Amino acid sequence: MKIMKKMFALLICTGVFYGANAQRFAYVDSQYILNKIPEYKTAQDALNQQSVQWQKEIEAKYSEIDQLYKSYKADEVLLTQDMKDKRQSEIEQKEQAVKELQKQRFGVNGDLFKKRQELVKPIQDKVYDAVQQLAEKDNLAVIFDKASDLTMLYTNPKFDKSDEILKEMGYSGSEKDKENKKKK
């Protein structure tokens, strides 16, 4: 009975070891891939332009509030307490409105986030689909993203599948191919 248990344990260990060795890994650089896609660059430019426009709008409102505050300070000695309170309240309301606008534009689920979802998410989904197809085609167990927060201390260029993802999506990505061939 003991021999059977030992043989069974040995068989399981061998199977686990063989299964672990059979796993295939690769990595991609999603930032490199996205930067090679013209639609992504166009979307990023549109987001940047919109962001700059909204930032200017907010800065203009803060400038207006600053002018109101300077005017209030200049007139403060001439104002009655009721007039002071009214102007302070007006400044505070405007400040609150600008903070709300800033939150609406740049907050967690703000307009910029929604615009990014609208413009960039479909492109990222295409990249993800291409990665998934490559993983299935090449029988890869895991594909890491070199551009993410995952720390990769060493990457062998022969496992970089970024250009294959670009080719899968119909884009050219020969820069890394050339770099990899030079290193070999």
Which pLDDT does position 175 carry in this prediction? 57
Q: Which residue has the higher pLDDT, 120 or 138?
A: 120
**130 falls within a domain:** yes
**13 falls within a domain:** no
Which pLDDT does position 60 carry in this prediction? 97
**56 falls within a domain:** yes
**44 falls within a domain:** yes
The token pair at 162 is: 């970024």
Give the integer Cα–Cα distance in Å for 45 and 25.
Answer: 34
Average the pLDDT over 98-126 and give the result.
Answer: 94
* Number of domains making up the chain: 1
**10 falls within a domain:** no
- pLDDT of residue 82 exceeding 90: yes
Give the integer Cα–Cα distance in Å for 83 and 30.
Answer: 58
**Which H, E and C letters describe the chain, residue by residue?**
CHHHHHHHHHHHHHHHHHHHHHCCEEEECHHHHHHCCHHHHHHHHHHHHHHHHHHHHHHHHHHHHHHHHHHHHHHHHHCCHHHHHHHHHHHHHHHHHHHHHHHHHHCCCCHHHHHHHHHCHHHHHHHHHHHHHHHHHCCCCEEEECCCCCCCCCCCHHHECHHHHHHHHCCCCHHHHHHHHHHC
**16 falls within a domain:** no
**46 falls within a domain:** yes
pTM: 0.66
The token pair at 180 is: 């990899």
Domain housing 42:
25-183
**166 falls within a domain:** yes
What is the radius of gyration, based on Cα positions, of the chain? 29
Place 155 in a pLDDT band, splitting at 50, 70 and 90.
low
Q: Which residue has the higher pLDDT, 52 or 152?
A: 52
Which pLDDT does position 36 carry in this prediction? 92
Average pLDDT, the chain: 81
Place 164 in a pLDDT band, splitting at 50, 70 and 90.
confident
- pLDDT of residue 63 exceeding 90: yes
